[in-house]
Chain A
């Protein structure tokens, strides 16, 4: 009963705040509407600076370093504060020394250099962008969450009492992944691959959770970025194919099927060879698409309020009023669903990686 009252109160506050904000927003918006695409892409995509929110019309921005190599003038390190926040008419954000960022204010465009009248993109851009920054934070949190329980293990003997609190929880979580996903799939080879698979799991899981958190240090969408998932999939691809045994390769190039399927026209070998590449690509796309979709749904649900109020007039306010509680409730529901998805996607990635590794060691004993 107590909790129910709290929840109702919170809903009411969110509702009024949303309505007030939406009304203000729709008044300020000169076009009379908002671009869902812009907001969505602004949230899920990378940017050179970390645009947290707007306070009283002023953007709250965490400025980040930009590191890049230009063919003409060598290495450069700048801060995003040295670049204009608003792009000019040609969609270029002016910076020092003739460098520009192409694209809108929260878009990670290319860095271009003005050589004469020509704009040349720089060739090697390793700026600490918003998502790289979140990647670092994620890595630090991950290291802390694993190394603190690991330190407990080093400091204690086998016959000491069981750990409690955070250490106990992490031990339980790690062992549940180890036993249920890795050991059950890989059997006696588990210990060889467990560190990689566990790192994958917790890296993805923490990154997913950070993505659900709507404010710094979270808020990024790194597992919903294809570069991140591509690297993870590449790792699994390399582990699978580098450690694969002779039988694995024989299965690919000379599978046990009727000879006419592989001899004159190598039909099965071609399919199997495609499979080798499709497996990691599927891993990459599944994680990327799931996390991106989660973010897209969350943002769309919130934006529905603004879109309705953006219609203006009596109808707009009426629809907005109706849609707001629905949207808030749906957002809460989606948030819980996202938490579930965070775990499931990390689990699926790890499990499939383990299965692929197991397949590359198939029939080892026969």
Chain B
């Protein structure tokens, strides 16, 4: 057997064995493994992509949450401010009203007091006049005997009263 002459028997068996192995591996071997590994690769890539997206979404949600919180805080402060203003306004108004009312009451009271005072003075004056008249009557009754003197006195008194009134 020369080294470089292909041997028929070995060539024959090589053909048989290699073609059998090729057929078996073509059917059950390599495509199965290659497809599986490629599918796994696709699956892992997909999972990574999803994880990435989820992380991104989570970050977005956090950001959104913070934004919402910030907004809420701002709204709160605005509301608080408004409430305070309203409160102040109400209080101021109430004070004003109260003052007005009090003034009005005071004025009313003063007016009434004035009126009553005037009435009282009038009454007193009337009473004083009556008393004076009565006193005068009494005085006059006692001294009516002397006509001349009495006439003079009456005129004098009348004058005085007239001047007074």
Contact = CB atoms under 8 A, between A and B. Distances in A.
Q: Do A and B bind each other?
A: yes
A146 B10 contact: no
Interface string B21-32: 110111011111
A129 B40 CA distance: 43
Given A132-B10, A227-B7, A154 B21 contact: no
A158 B30 contact: no
Contact of A162 (B11, B12, B40): B40
Interface string A13-30: 000000000000000000
A46 interface: yes
Counting chain A CB atoms within 10 Å of each CB, the highest count among B5, B8, B11, B33 belongs to B33
A162 B32 CA distance: 15
Interface string A35-70: 000000100111000000000000000000000000
Given A129-B9, A203-B21, A292-B3, A146 B14 contact: no
Interface string A106-139: 0111000000000000001111110110011001
Contact of A231 (B11, B26, B32): B11
Contact of B25 (A108, A128, A143, A159): A143
B34 A226 contact: no
B37 to A, nearest CB: 5
B117 to A, nearest CB: 106
A134 B3 CA distance: 18
A187 B32 CA distance: 19
Contacts of A254: none
A318 interface: no
Contacts of B10: 46, 129, 131-132, 135, 225, 227-228
A126 to B, nearest CB: 5
B43 A171 contact: no
Interface stretch (A71-79, A192-200, A263-271): A192-200
Interface residues of B, number: 35
Interface in A83-120: 103, 107-109
Interface in A192-229: 194-196, 198-199, 203, 225-228
A227 B6 contact: yes
Interface of A: 41, 44-46, 103, 107-109, 124-129, 131-132, 135-136, 139, 142-143, 146-147, 149-150, 153-154, 156, 158-159, 162, 170-171, 174-175, 178, 191, 194-196, 198-199, 203, 225-228, 230-232, 235, 292
Given A125-B8, A203-B21, A108 B1 contact: yes
B26 A199 contact: yes
3 residue pairs, one from A and one from B, having the closest CB atoms: A153-B36, A227-B6, A227-B10
A195 B37 contact: no
Contacts of A136: 13, 17
Give the residue among B9, B11, B21, B36 with the most A Cβ atoms within 10 A.
Answer: B9
Contacts of B14: 135, 227-228, 231
B21 A199 contact: yes
Interface in B32-63: 32-37, 39-40, 43
A136 B40 CA distance: 33
B20 A195 contact: no
B15 interface: yes
Contacts of B40: 158, 162
B26 A196 contact: yes
A146 B4 contact: no
Contact of B17 (A139, A194, A226, A230): A139
A158 B43 contact: yes
Given A132-B9, A225-B7, A150 B1 contact: no
B37 A235 contact: no
5 contacts: A125-B8, A135-B13, A146-B33, A150-B28, A199-B25
A33 to B, nearest CB: 23
A108 B7 CA distance: 10
B5 A226 contact: yes
A191 B34 contact: yes
B92 to A, nearest CB: 72
A46 B8 CA distance: 12
B18 A146 contact: no
